[in-house]
Structure 1
Amino acid sequence: MFGKILIANRGEIAVRVLRACRELGIRTVAVHSTEDKDSAVVHLADQAVQIGPAPSRQSYLNAAAIVEAARATGAEAVHPGYGFLSENPDFAEVCEANGLTFIGPPPDVIATLGDKTAARAAMTAAGLPLLPGSVEPLNDAEGAARLADEIGYPVIIKAAAGGGGRGMSIVEDPVEFSRSYQQTRATAQTLFGDGRVYVERYLPSARHVEIQVLCDGYGNAVHLGERDCSVQRRHQKLVEETPAPGLPAELTARMGEAAVRGALATGYLGAGTFEFIVDTENNFYFMEVNCRIQVEHPVTEAVTGVDLITEQIRIAAGERLRLKQEDIRRGGVAIECRVNVEDPDRNFVPTPGRLEKFVPPGGPFVRVDTHGFAGYKVPAAYDSLLAKVIVWAPDREGAIRRMRRALAEFTIEGPGVHTTREFLDRVLRDPLFVEAKHDTGLVARILGD
């Protein structure tokens, strides 16, 4: 087992990783920007190293500074969390070249699965179902438009190197295609440094369901069930739950088997998530792989009792997976709500500022993953996620009631600071959500878009 791990991230996930390390008896190194010098993880870590100014490119995306911090502090491994460099194959390779264990898949696996078109090709070879669309990137508008005509509208244009709900455009009409194609390519180039795009059929009434997998370096793999992530704004998740309500157990079992098959076929290592689209007739289609821990991993932990971060670390340390598929037992229902520092009434614009009051909810079966505290200044330079509220109950009705109670208790106040807390309560009250008849269009319908 490692003696010291550097956490190459910030915010709530950095605190979450630190806690797992502490329970394993592993010392921690927190890296931080000048903006985050007073953050929670800096106060909690055994050591802290400033790696650059506020802009991410000069700090949390500065691979050289992170590796130097690891070497200077004697860290043996690097946990990348999610976002930033977590799915960057070059960073994983640089870590390995410097004698550091990257806690995640090998660089070549990240490179394959991080490229959406390469991932589609790999999953096709593994026998996973895909929506009609291109496997190779489409390099000219005319050829892409012809394929869209063959597929049938609506279609979605996606960045091959995209992620996090960014770099995609839905096209309803052929007249709009050429303009959307050029815009998506330009956006992809700006966001990811890679302008390649592909096209696939878009399902306007669909569920977003993902499967959590764990794989070791000895050919063993398990899945830990599904999570429904259909409540989204601008393709970014707000509410996640498990089990996925209203889906037959036989369907989710097949999805789990498909995810394990895809993971083994590509030599996956560690914790990962296979994302699928489920249509109104309960057909499922592979969408992408997230080669990292997910924001919503706590709901899986709540129903299985498996600490996913601990398992990540053990696998990276060379241990065999201690779980077999028959060992995975799920009980009850878990829901997670992301409390972001945003104003839903102004199209979810971020509203950073100083928190004068910050009192998280408590009570039985309520968990809060956060880096917030009273007096904390939420920076404008980074993602707006402030806290995740996770609840467990024996059934879905009880979980919804418990979550509504927890959100009502959550006190977050500061000059100019708005959060999604009240909007999340609106989602939980919505009849479509309560009756488990919602899909990825729920938030737009609530807002009247």
Structure 2
Amino acid sequence: NKVLLLGSGGLSIGQAGEFDYSGSQALKALKEDGISTVLINPNIATVQTTEGMADKVYFLPVNAATVEEVIRKEKPDGLIISMGGQTALNVGVELFDAGTLDRLGVKVLGTPIPVIKDTEDREAFAVRMAEIGEHVAKSFAATTLEGAFEAADKIGYPVLVRAAFALGGLGSGFANDKEELRDLATKALALSPQILLDQDLRGWKEVEYEVVRDAADNCVTVCNMENFDPLGVHTGDSIVIAPSQTLSNDEYFMLRETALRVVRHLGIVGECNIQYALDPRSERFCIIEVNARLSRSSALASKATGYPLAYVATKLILGADLVTLRNSVTKTTTACFEPALDYVVVKVPRWDLRKFSKVSNKIGSQMKSVGEVMAIGRTFEEAIQKAVRMVNPALHGFEPSTEVLNALWEDEEAEAVAD
């Protein structure tokens, strides 16, 4: 009868408008089913907090204490934590661990919390993937500097260091030796109680799939995307192309089949994003991570394909199934039809480094972009030209420099004189 939805809170790098989009879609889906909605989101400058979207809005911080207070007051039947990014997910896990949700009789809708914890904890995730014979990049978690040194020795330098339960690659970087590791690990441990050390896979292709699954075990891949930049550059700072342009048919279906197997094995209900590292010189691949929530990529996939991911995911976590659920965009097909694209979509990030003093202008494992543009074209060339022009109005896309044009004109004049 009543559902509490957690928003993502204030805008920050790595967590911005895409979660407003998913939350707004979720509220529409809940309203359609006649469910009373309560929203917690302190950000007044969002669509989901506008009048008429939710029945009741609390402009309060999204943290365990305030969410518990609202639950006691509103007494909702269900809680949705998959539409508010990493912030909402962390709060949901914290309330579950403290026993608050059981004590107050609130059910988390969609993917169960133990499954979310399996996807967030690198060691638990590696164990779950090993159960079905899938490979993940060598990874260890550490809570101390000594633990980080031991993990790096097991993996072998260089290693990727990052803070656990963080968004946008916060506190991450590559360490080539013990001294660099000491520096990076100290910074990362200041941001999170646990740090993750991963095998260095720089240079491998990064490929993503968006997958939806219902409680009846029906599963479809909605969109696959390929990062223009290789692994080592944060996906939020990378140019992304949908559908992928350089994968062979075998590679595409190999990764698709794996995505469906992983999502079924974990027991995810609703929408999730799975990221792969693919060796460009062979068909070797490993799973980087699974996000059991709506993400930046989900918003891009929705707009690129016209498949309303957040809306469908909300209907699925309320108990609908993909076979009978109508696609609200096409009106004729059901949600189990996978979109087929006869066009190319390109996402280009936008940076504004002038606002941040002393920030390196080199892209890497830590996200720095403050926004992004999306362009559609019949070919990759057309789409990226449009995207480059959109990301900065001063640019005319990929065009030769003035020196090159002057040289060409001089050559043409010389030819005309010779003729």
Q: What is the TM-score with the length of structure 1 in the denominator?
A: 0.68
Match of 1:404 in 2: 388
Deviations 1:53-77 (A, max 9, x none): xxxxxx22x1231243355456544
Indicate the residue corresponding to 2:338 in structure 1. 328
* Ranges in structure 2 where 5+ consecutive residues have no aligned partner: 10-15, 326-333, 362-366, 401-419
SS of aligned partner of 1:43:
coil
Report the structure number with the largest CA radius of gyration: 2
Q: CA deviation at 1:118?
A: 1.6
Distance change (3 Å), C-alpha of 1:181 and 1:41: same
Contact 1:343-1:349 at 8 Å conserved across structures = no
* Distance in 2 of aligned mates of 1:40 and 1:89: 26
Asked if the contact 1:272/1:289 (under 8 Å) is kept, the reply is yes
% identical equivalent positions: 18
Whole-Å separation in 2 of the counterparts to 1:334 and 1:144: 40
- When residues 116 and 148 of structure 1 are mapped into structure 2, their CA distance, relative to the original with a 3 A threshold, is closer
**1:120 maps to what in 2?**
126
Q: Which residue of 2 aligns with 1:363?
A: none
Deviations 1:223-257 (A, max 9, x none): 22322235499635133221122121321221111
Letter in 1 for 2:381: E
2:378 to 372, 377, 394: 394
The question of whether the paired residues in 2 share the 8 Å contact of 1:215 and 1:269 is answered with yes
Match of 1:319 in 2: 320
Question: Does the alignment pair 1:31 with 2:40?
Answer: yes
Q: CA deviation at 1:325?
A: 10
Task: Please list every run of at least 4 consecutive aligned residues from structure 1 whose deviation after the TM superposition is greater than 6 angstroms.
Answer: 323-326
- Deviations, residues 99-150 of structure 1 (Å, cap 9, x unaligned): 444354211011111011221222122222334x35676964664354244x
Aligned to 1:444: none
CA distance in 2, matches of 1:293, 1:347: 32
Give the distance between the partners of 2:260 and 2:151, measured in 1 at CA.
Answer: 32
- Whether the aligned pair in 1 keeps the contact of 2:272 and 2:292 (CA below 8 Å) is yes
Does the 8 Å CA contact 1:7/1:28 hold for their aligned counterparts? no
8 Å CA contact retained: 2:122, 2:139: no
Which protein has the bigger strand share?
1
For residues 302 and 23 of structure 1, what CA distance do their matches in structure 2 show?
17
Equivalent in the alignment of 1:154: 158
CA distance in 2, matches of 1:42, 1:83: 19
Contact kept, 8 Å, 1:117 with 1:137, in 2: the verdict is no
Aligned to 2:80: 78
Residue in 1 that maps onto 2:57: 48
Alignment of structure 1 residues 340-351 onto 2, 5 Å: 342-343=353-354
- Which residue does the alignment assign to 1:337? 348
Letter in 2 for 1:127: G
Note the residue ranges of structure 1 that are not aligned, 5 or more in a row: 52-58, 351-382, 410-421, 432-449
- Paired amino acid for 2:29: L
Distance apart, 1:338 and its partner CA: 4.0
Give 1:14 deviation, angstroms.
4.6
Structure 1 distance, partners of 2:355, 2:276, is: 27
Change beyond 3 A, Cα 1:389–1:101: farther
CA pair 40-326 structure 1, distance change in 2 beyond 3 A: closer
Deviation at 1:262, TM superposition (A): 1.4
Indicate whether 1:285 and 2:286 are aligned.
Answer: yes
Deviations, residues 405-431 of structure 1 (Å, cap 9, x unaligned):
43356xxxxxxxxxxxx7xx69x7499
Q: Match for 1:292: what amino acid? A: R
The separation in 1 between residues aligned to 2:102 and 2:261, in whole angstroms, is 27
TM-score (norm 2): 0.72
Letter in 2 for 1:166: L
Map 1:98-177 onto structure 2 (within 5 A): 98-131=104-137, 133-134=138-139, 140=147, 143-149=150-156, 153-159=157-163, 161=165, 163-172=167-176, 176=177
TM-align CA RMSD: 3.7
- Cα contact 2:207–2:227 (8 A) shared by 1: yes
The reply to whether residue 16 of structure 1 matches residue 25 of structure 2 is no
| Cα shift at 1:349 | 8.0
Number of positions where the alignment pairs a residue of Structure 1 with one of Structure 2: 363
